[in-house]
Amino acid sequence: VLVLVLYMGVQSFAYTRASANYLFQTSGCIIAPYNDEPIISYMQHQGIRYAWATGWVGDPITFRTRGHIIVIDPRIVAYHQWYINRIPAYTLAVEQAKRASVLLLVSQGDKSPLLLRRLIREHIIYRVARFPSEPGYQLLVITPLNHSISPKVISDSGVQSRSCLARSFK
């Protein structure tokens, strides 16, 4: 009976502390946007069908759009020996896409993240749209206009947000 009471107490505490904003949020990245409808709407309006992003951000978009927008983690291509390619057809589609966009989580105050600085150095012209994510963070939709971005460049320039990892394990 004591174990049952303790169990019910812990569950009740967790229930009262839960936030509706995080209902469908992964515990792996709580700074990813819980409402990605504005991002999906923007991508559809801009004709963006293919993008690179960490799975925490991209998988919900691919799922919610029923595959009309396909988002794949660039590390699957850049470091294939370390990552599982769960849906090879999706990975191939994004890899072969002309100028696939990039979805990048950044701190709200970060006006020039590493990936954008690298694109400037490599003379890649891009369009960027910023969307609010969780407090203190933004999601950038970066669309290259004159040249595709290598999955390795994206991987090495911060697609896996270190902030996401640090916040998730606190």
What digits encode the pLDDT tens for the residues 44-98? 999 999 999 988 899 999 999 999 999 999 989 988 877 888 899 999 999 999 9
User: Which 8-state DSSP code applies to residue 21?
Assistant: G
> What's the pLDDT score for residue 55?
87
pLDDT tens for residues 142-153?
999 999 999 999
Contact between 142 and 115 (Cβ < 8 Å)? yes
| pLDDT confidence bin for 161, thresholds 50/70/90 | low
Contact between 144 and 99 (Cβ < 8 Å)? yes
Closest C-alpha among 41, 59, 28, 46 to residue 131: 41
Write the CB contacts of 165 (distance below 8 Å, at least 6 apart in sequence). 29
Contact between 133 and 31 (Cβ < 8 Å)? yes
| pLDDT confidence bin for 109, thresholds 50/70/90 | confident
Contact between 137 and 167 (Cβ < 8 Å)? no
Structural tokens at position 107: 């701190």
Higher pLDDT, 15 or 71: 71
Contact between 49 and 97 (Cβ < 8 Å)? yes
Closest C-alpha among 88, 77, 83, 128 to residue 104: 128
